[in-house]
Amino acid sequence: MPLLAKLTCAWMLGIIISDFHYQKIAICLGVLISLFFCVKKKYIPLLYVVISIAGMGRMYYAQVSVPYQPFPNAQWYTISDNRTNWQAQKITAFAQDGQGLITTLPLNPPHYPGEAIWLTGQPQRLKSNYAAYQAQMDRRHIYVIMNNPQIKAIVPSHPWRIALEQWRYHSQHKLQQLFAEPMSSIVIGMLIGLNGDVSEATAQTFRQTGTSHILVISGWNISIVAVVCMQITARLQQQPWLRAGVVIGAIIVYVLATGASAAVMRAGVMGVAVVIGKTLNRPRNAWNMLALAAWGMSVYDPSVLWDLGFQLSSLATLGLVAFSSTIDTWLEHTPFAHPTLTWGREGLAATLAAQMTTWPLMLCRLGLPSPWSILANIIITPVVPFAMATGTLTLVCAWLVPVLAPITTWLAYPAFQWIIVGSQVLATWPAPTRIIIDNPWLEWLGHASWVGCIVFLHWQNQQGAAPHTTDKDDNLIK
């Protein structure tokens, strides 16, 4: 594993340990580990300890800087997130002192992230039966729920963000006019990251088949955007920096236009790193790219380490980097080695690799998916790039050439219909009841299991855990 990845692990470990108020134990453990490794390497372990302590101090500052205090009945809040469905708007907002709240507002008038609103109401302390969710909200400093609030005033504090959100919601309405349900909600979720319109029945279908990641913006979408832009700008090969600027600009615009969630930001940083490395003709190492994204985001906001979307996205990428090549090699000794099944072998290897590192989160927070989830991903995910391409073409036509939009809708229809029908059919197959085990110790034990697998592979083959520095790493942004 490269040095940057090791330093990032030390940094994030320091942040995580400090959150559990075991600073003295953590320092003693760090000293013992450093003494153990100093026998062979004198300075690198010391550097690990220094970075860990820096991470611990950063997290401690973040934790104590916004303590919970009783909320006043009325004050200004800046909206940071709005998840709208058919019934209401679920708003997450933060006061000037950094404390956050969750509230529900009517559908009209619409509110956008970036607006500052004066709310009056009776705040209540946020309490959840799920320890992981409660801890996540507390670490983000979201402490209360306000029921039936009243809005006294609205000020657009971030006009550029409001303009982007307005574009997203206008795009949502255009797509709703072109596609019928449940297809329209799936198209909207895949293209612009607004999945509040997905009905509970449809969402349950995708959860049962383990394909709910298709309904949200992820690193895979960033990969598709980057690859398409690279192909479109192929004629600019003699001007590599102009070409890189176009691709990076497209990635940044896409990240902002889709809401800039933690998972998308992580993938965006990795995508930009890949483009810059390719332009400089430097070796591109997937471990370093993932480490750079995780380190940069945790420096800016340490609480992102407890964001479930960031965790799933980062761990899935780590699984692809660490295990996909090994699993693909194993599958070459199975019937999947036949040339006609290459597409299935690659999809199966990627799915198994991603599940190797995400299963503890799935079991303890979301529940393990159906045993048919691997088959569902092999059948459905190959169609996603075509669905995204035709769906994006439809959205562009809806804005620029509305007359052509109904025609492009028919081009997108088969791919999205394949995704929907495939999920619905596999969801009807018998499967055990989904069980969520809300136990942090079991989750930690699960993470220790795949970390042990990485250590074993590294011990078995010194180059087994290190990804090859080829262009295949460009597709590991997922």
**pLDDT of residue 414 exceeding 90:** yes
| % of the chain at pLDDT higher than 70 | 82
Judge residue 413's burial from the number of C-beta atoms within 10 Å of its C-beta, 0-12 exposed, 13-18 middle, 19 or more buried: middle
> Mean pLDDT throughout 187-215?
80
257-270: pLDDT as tens digits: 777 777 788 778 88
Residue 78 main-chain phi, psi, to 5 deg: -105, 125
Pairing between β-strand 89-95 and β-strand 115-125 as defined by DSSP bridges: unpaired
Whether the per-residue pLDDT at 466 is higher than 70: the answer is no
Residue 64: predicted pLDDT: 62
- pLDDT value of residue 24: 60
* Mean pLDDT calculated for residue range 103-114: 87
Mean of all residue pLDDT scores within the chain = 79
Beta strands in 51-141 (DSSP E): 74-84, 89-95, 100-105, 115-125
pLDDT for residue 442: 83
Question: How many residues are listed for the chain in this entry?
Answer: 478
Burial of 59: CB neighbours in 10 Å, binned 0-12, 13-18, 19+: buried
Q: What is the pLDDT of residue 30?
A: 59
- Look at residue 418 in the predicted model and tell me its pLDDT: 93
Categorize the per-residue pLDDT at 475 as very low, low, confident or very high, splitting at 50, 70 and 90: very low
3-state secondary structure of 463: coil
Give the C-alpha separation, 362 to 214, whole Å: 16
- The H or E element containing residue 341 is none
The CA distance from 183 to 419, in Å, is 9
What is the band of 410 on the pLDDT scale with cuts at 50, 70, 90? very high
- At residue 476, the pLDDT reads 46
Predicted local confidence at residue 152, as pLDDT = 83
Q: Which two tokens stand for residue 174?
A: 């255009």
Residue type, 291: A
Helix or strand holding residue 156 (H, E): strand 142-156
- Its sign, for the CA torsion 182, 185, 188, 189, is negative
Nearest CA among 402, 139, 395 for reference residue 262? 139
Using one digit for the tens of pLDDT, what is the confidence trace for 114-171?
889 998 888 888 888 877 778 778 878 888 998 888 888 888 887 888 888 888 888 8
Stretch 9-25: mean pLDDT: 66
- Non-local (6+) Cβ contacts of 175 within 8 A are 184, 187, 188, 191, 394, 395, 398
**Residue bearing tokens 């697998």:** 453
The pair of structure tokens assigned to 119 is: 């709310």
Res 6: pLDDT = 76
Give the pLDDT score at 37.
Answer: 57
Confidence at residue 38, expressed as pLDDT on a 0 to 100 scale: 57
Are 116 and 88 in contact by the 8 Å Cβ rule? The answer is: no
- CA 245, 250, 251, 255 torsion-angle sign: positive
Task: Report which listed range, 65-69, 196-200, 277-281, 408-412, is most confident.
Answer: 408-412
Whether 201 has a pLDDT exceeding 60, the answer reads yes
Q: List the beta bridge partners of residue 155.
A: 116
Q: Per the structure block, which two tokens stand in for 406?
A: 């109904």
pLDDT at position 197 over 90: no
Q: Kindly report the number of other CB atoms within 10 A of residue 141's CB atom.
A: 20
Rounded Cα distance between 475 and 467, Å, is 12
- Number of alpha carbons in the 13 Å side-chain half-sphere of residue 59: 27
Give φ, ψ of 401 to 5 degrees.
-130, 80
74-157 has which CATH code? 2.40.50
Please answer whether residues 274 and 317 qualify as being in contact, where contact means their C-beta atoms are separated by less than 8 angstroms. Answer: no
d(C-alpha 90, C-alpha 113), whole Å: 11
Segment 307-365, tens digit of pLDDT: 887 888 888 888 888 888 888 888 888 877 777 766 667 777 877 888 888 888 888 88
> Which amino acid makes up residue 15?
I
Task: Name the amino acid, one letter, at 152.
Answer: K
